[in-house]
Amino acid sequence: MVKYKNVILTLAFLAALFASLSLTPWEQGGKEPYSYVPQEGLRVPESGIGNIGIDIFTTYVFSFEILALVLTAALVGAIYIARKEAA
């Protein structure tokens, strides 16, 4: 019975994920692209970390989410392998 609960929970999660991906407006719609403009009086960052953050959360957001799912699965797998067997 526990396996059926896991399957139902997984299917509900995947349905919510698919719904959120399909309902998200991915098109820019004539908007200007995001850019990092520092406020007056602040120095311009030399490392470009603002541009990296904007790229990760705009251009590469789908890849970022897939990576998060893979890392979560790896963490769950590592916990499953490392747990002690019931004696």
Residue 16 lies in a domain: no
Number of domains the chain is built from:
1
Residue 2 lies in a domain: no
Give the domain range for residue 77.
50-87
pLDDT in tens, 2-21: 688 888 989 999 999 899 88
Residue 84 lies in a domain: yes
Rounded Cα gap, residues 47 and 34, in angstroms: 18
Residue 85 lies in a domain: yes
Residue 87 lies in a domain: yes
Which one-letter amino acid corresponds to residue 68? A
Which one-letter amino acid corresponds to residue 48? G
Residue 65 lies in a domain: yes
Residue 1 lies in a domain: no
pLDDT band at 84 (very low <50, low <70, confident <90, very high): confident
pLDDT in tens, 22-75: 887 777 666 666 666 666 766 666 677 877 888 888 888 888 899 999 999 999
Q: How far is CA 4 from the centre of its chain?
A: 27
Query: What is the reported pLDDT for 16?
Result: 92
User: Mind giving me the DSSP string for 14-47?
Assistant: HHHHHHHHHHS--S-TTPPPP---PPTTSPPPSS
